[in-house]
């Protein structure tokens, strides 16, 4: 158990819909990272938050947004969903503000868009 | 650039043999290079990492080497065992260590 909690574990929805994925980092970790893993694909970096502030942005679509709340949990909002958004979305956390130490991954949220 | 290239995409070795996975990166400012292992249906987990001031690091059967001049680093697994079967990802910190970018992964299969 990494200490990172992601909900829901599985989510099935239709094209055009909106979903919210939630992540609670390890106790004491200030950074939260979101990664997308499509079938047989690598881990695509989406966005990072550190202590409530956006720290780094990757290839995140405009239809996607995220935030980190004062209690340090984070939410990834995906809207106007398309078939291609079907993927496993991982959240990871770390103590530091920069990804130069171990990232602790959650179990992921598997999104299926029909 | 922000690319991390990883090869091969699949690798099959006999149990007991060695496995080598290679990665290249493009950002000369990259200074942190971790390797993650992802077993089927599981989350990625760090197995070893190396920083730019070190050329090689070992941890039991696994080792990582770094060539900063050539901008490549490699994972070496010796005396492979069935439980080594997994997808392995290399990564590099880029953009002044602002992002951790992963390679596309290598699916390693250990044949008994």
The DSSP annotation for A32-70 comes to EEEEEE-TT---EEEEEEETTEEEEE-S--TTEEEEE-T
Residue with tokens 């709340």: A69
Query: B45 and chain A: CB distance < 8 Å anywhere?
Result: yes
pLDDT of residue A40: 67
pLDDT(B60) > 70: yes
Token representation of residue A27: 């106790």
Q: Which of residues 51-70 of B touch A (CB under 8 A)?
A: 51
pLDDT tier, B97 (very low <50, low <70, confident <90, very high otherwise)? low
Token representation of residue A2: 């990494």
pLDDT of residue A59: 85
**Candidate from A42, A56, A99 with C-beta closest to B103:** A42
pLDDT(A99) > 90: no
| Max Cα-Cα span within chain A | 38
CA distance B103 to A94: 20
- Average pLDDT, stretch B88-100? 86
CA distance B78 to A28: 36
CA distance B37 to chain A (A): 11
CA distance A64 to A58: 12
Residue, of B98 and B4, whose pLDDT is higher: B4
Peptide bond just before B8 cis, omega within 30 deg: yes
% of chain B at pLDDT higher than 90: 82
Instruction: Spell out a b/e string for B76-89, using b for 16 or more CB atoms within 10 Å of the CB, else e.
Output: bbeebeeebbbbbb
Neighbouring C-alpha atoms within 13 Å toward the C-beta of B98: 11
3-state secondary structure of A28: coil
Report CB contact under 8 Å: A90, B95: no
CA distance B81 to B70: 31
Q: How far apart are the first and last CA of chain A?
A: 31
Token representation of residue B46: 């760090």
Q: Which residues contact A109 (CB under 8 A, 6 or more apart)?
A: A6, A7, A8, A9, A10, A11, A21, A88, A89, A91
pLDDT in tens, A17-63: 999 999 999 999 999 999 999 976 789 999 999 999 999 999 899 99
């Amino acid at each position: 158990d990494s200490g990172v909690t992601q909900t829901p574990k599985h989510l099935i929805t239709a094209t055009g819909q909106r979903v919210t994925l939630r992540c609670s980092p390890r106790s004491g970790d200030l950074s939260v990272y979101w990664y997308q893993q499509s079938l047989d694909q690598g881990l695509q970096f989406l966005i990072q938050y550190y202590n409530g502030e956006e720290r780094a942005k990757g290839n995140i679509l405009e239809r996607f947004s995220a935030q980190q709340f004062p209690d340090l949990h984070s939410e990834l909002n995906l809207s106007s969903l398309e078939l291609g958004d079907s993927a496993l979305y991982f959240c990871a956390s770390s103590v530091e503000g920069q990804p130069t130490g171990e990232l602790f991954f959650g179990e992921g949220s598997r999104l299926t868009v029909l | 650039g922000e690319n991390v290239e990883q090869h091969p995409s699949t690798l099959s070795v006999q149990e007991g043999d060695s496995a080598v996975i290679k990665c290249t990166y493009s950002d000369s400012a990259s200074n942190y290079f971790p390797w993650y292992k992802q077993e089927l249906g599981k989350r990625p987990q760090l197995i070893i990492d190396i920083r730019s001031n070190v050329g090689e690091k070992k941890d039991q059967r696994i080792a990582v080497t770094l060539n900063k001049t050539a901008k490549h680093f490699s994972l070496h697994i010796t005396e492979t065992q069935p439980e080594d079967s997994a997808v392995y990802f290399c990564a590099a910190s880029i953009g002044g260590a602002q992002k951790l970018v992963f390679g596309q992964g290598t699916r390693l299969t250990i044949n008994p």
